[in-house]
Structure 1
Amino acid sequence: MNKNFIIKKNREGKKEDVPKKIFFKTNLFYKEKGFLKFFIYSPIVKEYAFYTLFPNGLNLFIYDKNTYNKYTYLRADWVKSIDKMFFHIKGNIIIMSHKGVSLKTEEIFWDRRKKKIFNKKYTKIIFHSKKMILYAINGIEASEDLKKIRLKNINGTFPVK
């Protein structure tokens, strides 16, 4: 039997994965070429054979190139990471960029290979510097840094001078 992939049966007789490792009150720092790329805090991290689960959510800081005072912040109630390249994120999601854009939604997918986030859920986007709020009724597609955002079926509030 492969030691890296353990399956047990729950009370109803259904098969379920058992984590290889469980970490509590976890702080993860990732650096590249001496510069901090991101920082994660999560109360619980469960590593499985094919994915990592953050069942109690996380706080993620993604730092801009070579600077510690510019970052994108993400907070969510639940996250599943597959190969550290694809993330399924759910529950009270807040994403804030250092450029003054905030995003709030209940579910989002993040493809790190393509550097894109997307969903088909109601999403609120706030452009703080322009004092503008947009609502994407049928979801969004955006670059991970929120510089390019495509909204599906929108409405919103625009300032008038």
Structure 2
Amino acid sequence: MNTTYLHTIKNIVIAFAVTMFFSCKNNFDDVQKIGVLQNEPIGIADTINLKYSDSIGILAANLISPKMLDYSNRIFGFSEFPKGIELIIYDKDRNESKIFADYAIAYNKTDLIDLRGNVILATHKGDSIFAPQMYYDQKTEWVFTNGDVKFSLDGSLSFGRFFDSDRNFDEWTILEQSGDFEFDN
């Protein structure tokens, strides 16, 4: 009787193991798909026109783009503009300066916009700055780059590095300048 009982238990364990073995399947593809879905944007917007106002409701900036991808579901959320942007910055006298870029990323937590690819800054004063990459800090309303720039001031083309400026483009700096300069005597 002991052997029959042991034999029955042994058969049940084997049947259970075989059932478990054949019921398991490889779901690695499903696991990979979960990661892909988490990397997708939470929202997609076409033809956007975002207006930013200051604390008293006066228009400070206007961001225009043909496409925006919203990744605010990430730990360090951001919005991506894969088809470029036009950023219009208004100074205290309502003058418009414009920044154009082929690509941009706006980081939600830092309020920093990373502008990349053929960045052109056209000030309301008629000056132009050209750079491969530039940043706009929305909190401090400051435009800057640590890279090379080409600039046109009063029709004279020059080169430099490390451009930064306030929103009004009254206080700006370009270091390591080179090119043609005209000096007043």
| Band of TM-score, shorter chain | 0.7 to 0.9
In 1, the alpha carbon distance for the partners of 2:175 and 2:148 equals: 9
Indicate the residue corresponding to 1:36 in structure 2.
59
In 2, the alpha carbon distance for the partners of 1:110 and 1:150 equals: 15
Which of the residues 72, 78, 86 maps onto 1:59? 86
- 2:47 pairs with 1:22: no
Indicate the residue corresponding to 1:146 in structure 2.
169
Q: Percent identity?
A: 22
Amino acid in structure 1 at the alignment position of 2:115: I
* Alignment size in residue pairs: 146
| Native 8 Å contact 1:101 1:146 kept in 2 | no
RMSD over aligned Cα atoms? 2.6
| Native 8 Å contact 2:102 2:116 kept in 1 | yes
Residue 97 of structure 2 aligns to a residue whose secondary structure is strand
Deviations along 1:45-95, whole A, 9 cap, x unmatched?
11112111111111121223363xx21101000111112711111001111
Indicate the structure (1 or 2) with the bigger Cα radius of gyration.
Answer: 2
Q: Give the alignment of 1:9-158 within 5 angstroms.
A: 9=35, 17-31=39-53, 33=56, 35-49=58-72, 50-65=77-92, 67=94, 70-83=95-108, 85-128=111-154, 131-136=155-160, 138-158=161-181
The Cα shift of 1:103 comes to 0.6
With structure 1 as the length reference, what TM-score do the two structures score? 0.76
Residue 153 of structure 1 aligns to a residue whose secondary structure is strand
With structure 2 as the length reference, what TM-score do the two structures score? 0.67
Task: Label 1:149 to 1:16 Cα distance change in 2 as closer, same or farther (>3 A).
Answer: farther
Q: Please identify which structure carries the higher helix content.
A: 2
The Cα shift of 1:105 comes to 0.6
Q: Which has the higher contact order (CA 8 A, sep 6+)?
A: 1
Q: State which drifts further: 94-103 or 146-155.
A: 146-155
